[in-house]
Amino acid sequence: MKLAIIGLANSGKTTLFNALTGQHLETTAYPTLIEKPNFGVVKVPDKRVNKLSEIYKPKKSTYATVEYIDYLGLTKQDADQNRKVFDLIKDADAIVNVTRAFTDESVPHPMNEVNPMADIEAVEFELIFEDLEFIEKRLERMKKDRNPSEAERKLLLRCKDSLAKELPLSKLKFDDQEQKIIKPLQFISIKPAVTLLNIGEEDLHTDREQELIEKIKECRKVKVDDLLLLSLCGKIEMEIAQLNPDEAKVFLDDLKIKEPALNRLIQASYDLLGLISFLTVGEDEVRAWTITKGTNAQKAAGKIHSDIERGFIRAEVIGFDDFISAKTMVVARDKGHVRLEGKTYEVRDGDIINFRFNV
């Protein structure tokens, strides 16, 4: 899973990137002209992998991973500058839009103005404008084609109409045929997005934080009734990420935080993309494998190796909770918790699977 972190200048997106990846990139309150994007791979926190590793004591434990990209800040009405960002994130699975909701007295006016709602709308407008401009150019080129695709032309006109009304393409429904047409076009506003409200330390766990969240949702209810909105303090999250586990726990306890907000971001991203994890266990390795919800057992086997998918016979399956309650696989089998499933079985989140195959 690849997530692109975007946001206006001074939103704190690089601070968030540092918190997620444990890197120490320089952060600045001013727009930068860096030409190299930053990449970081993060392990997906999974208590099930932790628990199974305690039981099996494997040589290694492998978690699912997320790749994050951080690049230039977006600039209002600067298409050339923003296109550099959009060209980079076209391959991303989803977008994290970091929105500023903190004050910084060291930053001069007007850069210190805090208006999350306006910033969310500004970023969305830039995404919409990029797609609209692309469609207009493509439609013009199609006029010169000898045999243009009528299906594509009709679809592009429908998309253009939505964008002209300032509605992102993520709000349109596309059938399977339309999905095939639209996928290679790599639209930006169609990507799933998490809006991340970056609040100040003084507002963490306060009425103001909740009021701000509700206000944003209420203002956007007409246009976007399913806005995925999370809040965190990027500065605190970066400090937590730079501590060792014991120190981090003390810090979290002092702030009355159950877990880093970044864990919630990763889980929200999984839910947004319809992703789940199944598990494989053994003395050599305990591992989490990421698949799309609804994937059948044979396709899931292909995540491990194409030979296992090709030679699939059966999947030996037990749910994580059933295994933990039984404590051992032997007891689980005696209780009838271990099942043999065929190739069409729909894998569930937390399934522990041993694939039987013959090549």
Q: Which residues of 93-105 are buried (b: 16+ CB within 10 A; e: fewer)?
A: bbbbbbbbbbeee
Segment 60-91, tens digit of pLDDT: 999 999 899 998 888 887 878 888 888 888 98
What integer pLDDT is reported at residue 227 of this predicted model? 61
**Comparing 35-44, 98-107, 336-345, 349-358, which segment has the lowest mean pLDDT?**
98-107
pTM for the whole structure: 0.84
At 320, is the pLDDT very low, low, confident or very high (cuts 50, 70, 90)?
Answer: very high
What integer pLDDT is reported at residue 34 of this predicted model? 55
What integer pLDDT is reported at residue 224 of this predicted model? 45
Mean pLDDT of 108-128: 81
Superfamily the domain 294-357 falls into:
Beta-grasp domain (3.10.20.30)
Mean pLDDT of 293-303: 97
Segment 197-232, tens digit of pLDDT: 999 988 888 898 888 888 888 776 544 445 688 898
| Percentage above 70 pLDDT, the chain | 92
What integer pLDDT is reported at residue 108 of this predicted model? 54
Whole-number CA gyration radius for the chain: 23
According to DSSP, the residues that pair with 38 across neighbouring strands are 70
Mapping DSSP onto H, E and C, the string for 59-113 reads CEEECCEEEEEECCCECCCCHHHHHHHHHHHCCCCEEEEEEEECCCCCCCCCCCC
Segment 91-102, tens digit of pLDDT: 899 999 999 998
At 130, is the pLDDT very low, low, confident or very high (cuts 50, 70, 90)?
Answer: very high
- 2-272 topology per CATH: Rossmann fold (3.40.50)
Distance separating alpha carbons of residues 61 and 56, to the nearest angstrom: 10
Nearest Cα residue to 188 out of 34, 294, 79, 291: 79
Q: Which residues of 34-56 are buried (b: 16+ CB within 10 A; e: fewer)?
A: eeeebebebebbbebbeebbeee
Question: Which residue do the tokens 């689980």 mark?
Answer: 332
Q: Which helix (H) or strand (E) holds 186?
A: none
Mean pLDDT of 253-268: 83
Domain boundaries defined on the chain? 2-272, 294-357
